[in-house]
Amino acid sequence: AKTSPAVQFADQRSIAATLRARGEHRAMLPSFDFAAQYARLTKFNNYEDFYLRFEPNSATIGVSIVFPFLNFSQRARARGADSDALKAKKQAESVRAQVSEETLKLQRSVAQLGAASEVANLEYQLAQSGLEAAQERDATGTGSLHELDDARTQASERYLVLQDTLIDLQRARIALLRSSGELEKWANSGTE
């Protein structure tokens, strides 16, 4: 069930929400910024006329230290992100349980349809044997044309029931492969 696309999507969403919550909490930590700037000023702007000590080379250095202990909006965002992460985690658990339950149902369905196809196959073989017996009786002249027609009809019906059961079995197997994520692996393995 872990390879199911729905479970993988839910798990990735939960991880993303957890990382977002972690980032919101880190935004509440003290931060330190350092900045530096250099400028080369020319003399044609007449700076020396306005400033007593004009230097054509100018450098500026700055430091910013922030302690966000009174940032209530950031705390609210962090708490909201925590609740979103918890919600995503619970949704992932719910999806995992739902996919697991669906997979179990599909496994039971495949087993039941397998048994039904075996029964349908046996009924078809029995009807085929009845048809062969009716053909023998007709060939020897001890059977009637009506018995032969009934045996052919019954063999045809049993064959159709067998084919329907086999189709249902294949559909259930494909649904099980899709639910477990194995269908995508199988389809991708053919392209490599």
Confidence of residue 175 (pLDDT cuts 50, 70, 90): confident
| Look-up of token digits 């990382």 | 19
Q: Is the Cβ–Cβ distance between 5 and 177 less than 8 Å?
A: no
Residue 135 to residue 150: CA distance in whole angstroms: 11
Average pLDDT, the chain: 88
Per residue in 100-109, is it b (16+ CB within 10 Å) or e — as a string? bebbeebeeb
Maximum C-alpha span of the chain? 134
Name the E strands within the chain. Answer: 31-40, 57-66
Lowest pLDDT segment from 50-54, 64-68, 155-159: 50-54
pLDDT score of 188 more than 80: no
User: Which of 74, 80, 76, 72 has its CA nearest to residue 17?
Assistant: 80
Confidence of residue 55 (pLDDT cuts 50, 70, 90): confident
Confidence of residue 11 (pLDDT cuts 50, 70, 90): very high
Instruction: List, for residues 80-137, the tens digit of each pLDDT value.
Output: 999 999 999 999 999 988 888 888 898 999 999 999 999 999 999 999 999 999 998 8
Using CA atoms, how far residue 140 sits from 134, 137, 143, in Å, is 10, 5, 8
More confident residue, 8 or 112: 112
Lowest pLDDT segment from 28-37, 64-73, 162-171: 64-73
Q: What is the DSSP letter of 181?
A: T
